[in-house]
Amino acid sequence: MSHSTYLPERMGTAVVEPDGRFEAGSFQSFTVTYTAGYFGIDDTGSIKVVHRFASDMGRPQFDNPQAANYTTVEATNGAVLHVEYDMKRNIRPWDKTLYIKVVRGFLREGDQIIIRFGDTRQGSPGIRLQTFCEHTFEFRVLVDAIATYNYVELPEQPVIVIVPGSPDLYKAVIPTQQRQGQKFKLRLKAEDRWGNPSDQCDREFSLRTTLPVQGLPETVAFTRGKLSLTVDGLSVAETGDLTISLVDDGGLTVCTSNPMRIVANADLLPYWGDLHGQSEETIGTNSARDFYEFARDKAFLDVCVHQGNDFQITSEFWVHLNELSEEFTEDDRFIVFPGYEWSGNTGLGGDRNVLYMEEGRQIHRSSHALVDDLSDVDTDATSAADLFKALKDEDCTVFAHIGGRYADIKIAHDQRLERSVEVHSAWGTFEWLIEDAFEQGYRVGIVSNSDGHKGRPGASHPGATKFGSYGGLTCLLAPEFTRVGFMQALRKRHHYGTTGSRVILDVRVVFDQPAELYSDDPYLGDVTSSRVDEAMMGDILRCEDATVTFKIDLHGASPVERIDIRNGLKTVEVYRPYQEADLGRRIRVLWEGSEYRGRGRETIWDGHAEITGNTFQQLNPVNRYNPDKRFEQTAPGRVEWEALTTGGFGGFDAVLEDPQAGILKINTSLVKEEIPINDIGRDELVFANGGIDRRIRVFRLPDENLHTAVTLERRIKLANDRDNALYVRITHEDGHFVWSSPIYIINE
């Protein structure tokens, strides 16, 4: 629904000073001056200054003139104003609202309301800008001149540009697997402290490799004004695992790429994608065109899908999205599927993501809540069951999602269409969704994406809002770099998900005697089968073996902390690549979990830890993506923090002066514990507090864990009364998760 369009040119004007370009996440001071138009503003009339839902600009406060984000409001004619700030007091996506009401007096034409965001006159450092870049950041002003609470948007809005800061870290990306001699690219970028690609780098690095790379120069140079750097035409002649490192002129390695495996031959190759994100036309940031350009050129993805909330997608924007998907799709370079997020209310099935094979298909909205044109309202699918019915003859695939709403796959699911569930996004980590599927006997794969709102698909830092996690990635194991190849991978569940890392992962089952591999889920009927000796992630098979061999081959950029080997709802084994004798002075403290399944799932873990009879020699946070959140060693034996989780985890590593002495005291509002240091070993101590896996875990690690690559075989006994859904969850020391899609084995 739109605001009133009554005579906007007579409602006044607004300007911002200063204007221009400002660094993301920096502290600034802005004066927005509203000048009343012909109608003035009547007694009890008001104006709103609104910002997008996605913005994480500092929250204006009105009480402490020396603290950050101090904001003042005054009327030049002396009228008394009532001022409030509300996170949701306007029509989506312009939710965040500074509300200014005239409570005594009125404004005539030419009178002004002066708003100082980040008023520095009494010592405030200013207001912290949002932490991500935007071409047109608006201080959008709406006017209720006649005191009817029916607002008119000003025809011209105050706008600034938010740009990246200086480089804080560097990243190098190469493919995850290639055939011998196959050409590939090295993609490089610098990021500022908030995860924005930085164009302020003017620096040269040497390149160091673990295998000889043909065509690789000795050095690369970043150029100021460029957001990324590509080295093309590379190849490797021998098999093995390759990494490429950037080395500065002092010999220090500033970053190392993800590992790439070179093989003699392969039927399937891994391709990385973020299948879920939004732009400013719905609830995100920057345009849909910017969205795809970022995914391809700054996040270095192979596939990306815009998934706007359907109730905000107008018919015109749906046509535009289809035009963009056709324009950006280029075989062997970058693939886009036309699609949308079906955003039904939780009680009607919750969020689903629809990916079409071709352009020009009908969008079946969950509602027309923010679409004024009702000419196609009869095409709506207002429940998940209705959606599956509407899509039954479409060439498409669907996965279940948890965002503000969560997908309730227990009340609606169609195995022909809904091939996967999304266990991780910027909203958090939600393993209970795959557990819901197992409980219902569904055979689905696991994807992990961002649902990013900040214009950074494929590199979706959470910023400073309550998005608790870095956005995920899905690795598709596809026969070709085309839409057809990627759709095949999705339908066969040949994929794995991560919380944003790029790792080599191969998970297989080897049978003692040939098993029957189905071409599709046999629940669907009319499927074919073939006899095979082994299976890969996503396969569905029937076998007569009582026990099978489960193989895991993993190589990541970060050491492996643990591997959970699972059969459906049961954890068969927790494997750690180090032994008790390898443990040292390093302990890890992690907080994790969520309040419940709905929107208010954030769990606050603000607190501190103290150690008596010992000291912290070194402290390193884990999954601390928000630099605004405090993490500080305030004494040799004390650390204080601010943190939240939304299903995932955060925490810290502490290197102790003495490996066994003293007592660790943890103090948060949810968990308070005293733990003797010599009780902390390889197996974790768990301190739970309700919610969904809401707890603190404490365990010990080696001083240095060198196990970035793990190969593992286990004999797994199969159950014969249910599906055997064999899969792994890998936890890396840097805080990233990896999930394989399950291999489904029917045992007779």
How far apart (Å, rounded) are the C-alpha atoms in residues 722 and 718? Answer: 9
Would you state the pLDDT for residue 714? 98
d(CA 40, CA 173): 56
Residue closest to 13 by CA, chosen among 30, 27, 32: 32
Q: Mention every residue, 6+ apart, whose C-beta is less than 8 A from residue 35.
A: 12, 13, 14, 110, 111, 112
pLDDT of residue 748: 77
Assigned fold of 8-163: Immunoglobulin-like (2.60.40)
pLDDT exceeds 70 at position 412: yes
Write out pLDDT tens, residues 577-613: 999 999 999 999 999 999 888 877 889 999 999 999 9
Query: CATH classification of 269-500, choosing from 3.20.20.140, 3.40.50.970, 3.50.50.60, 2.70.70.10?
Result: 3.20.20.140
Cβ atoms within 10 Å, residue 309: 25
Q: Are 277 and 457 contacting, i.e. CB atoms less than 8 angstroms apart? A: yes
Give the position of tokens 């006899």.
Answer: 531
Contact 174, 244 (CB under 8 A): yes
On the CB side of 674, CA atoms within 13 Å amount to 4
Residue 453: pLDDT over 70: yes
Sole residue written with tokens 């993800």:
258
CATH (one of 3.40.50.720, 2.60.40.10, 3.50.90.10, 3.40.47.10) for 506-577+707-748 = 2.60.40.10
CA pair distance 431, 7, nearest whole angstrom: 52
How far, in Å, CA of 127 to CA of 135, rounded? 19
CATH architecture of 169-263: Sandwich (2.60)
pLDDT for the residue 628: 87
pLDDT (mean) for 384-407: 95
3 state SS of 303: strand
pLDDT at 216: 98
State the pLDDT confidence band at 1, using cuts at 50, 70 and 90. low
State the average pLDDT over residues 709-730: 96
Residues in Cβ contact with 597 at an 8 Å cutoff, skipping those fewer than 6 apart = 402, 406, 432, 692
- Distance (Å, whole) CA 614 – CA 186: 46
Q: How far is residue 274's CA from residue 132's CA, in Å, rounded to a whole number? A: 18
Instruction: List all residues 6 or more positions away from 683 whose beta carbon is below 8 Å from its beta carbon.
Output: 699
Mean pLDDT of 422-442: 96
Please give the average per-residue pLDDT across 651-678, as a whole number. Answer: 97
Strand order across the beta sheet in which 140-144 lies: 80-86, 96-104, 46-51, 140-144, 152-153
Mean pLDDT value of segment 467-479: 93
Instruction: Name residues whose C-beta falls within 8 Å of residue 242's C-beta, 6 or more positions apart in sequence.
Output: 174, 209, 210, 211, 213, 236, 259, 260, 261, 262
**Can you give the pLDDT at residue 383?**
98
Largest interatomic CA distance in the chain? 88
Judge whether residue 144 has pLDDT over 60: yes
Contacts of 517 (CB under 8 A, 6+ apart): 529, 530, 531, 532, 535, 539, 540, 541
Judged against a pLDDT cut of 80, whether residue 525 lies above it is answered with yes
Confidence check: pLDDT of 411 > 60: yes
- Could you tell me if 283 and 273 are in contact, meaning their C-beta atoms sit under 8 angstroms apart? no
- Nearest-angstrom CA–CA distance, 12 and 153: 10
Q: In the predicted model, what is the mean pLDDT of the chain?
A: 96
Q: What is the pLDDT of residues 238-282, one digit of tens each?
A: 999 999 999 999 999 999 999 999 999 999 999 999 999 999 999
Instruction: Judge whether residue 304 has pLDDT over 60.
Output: yes
**Domains of the chain: which residue ranges?**
8-163, 169-263, 269-500, 506-577+707-748, 582-702
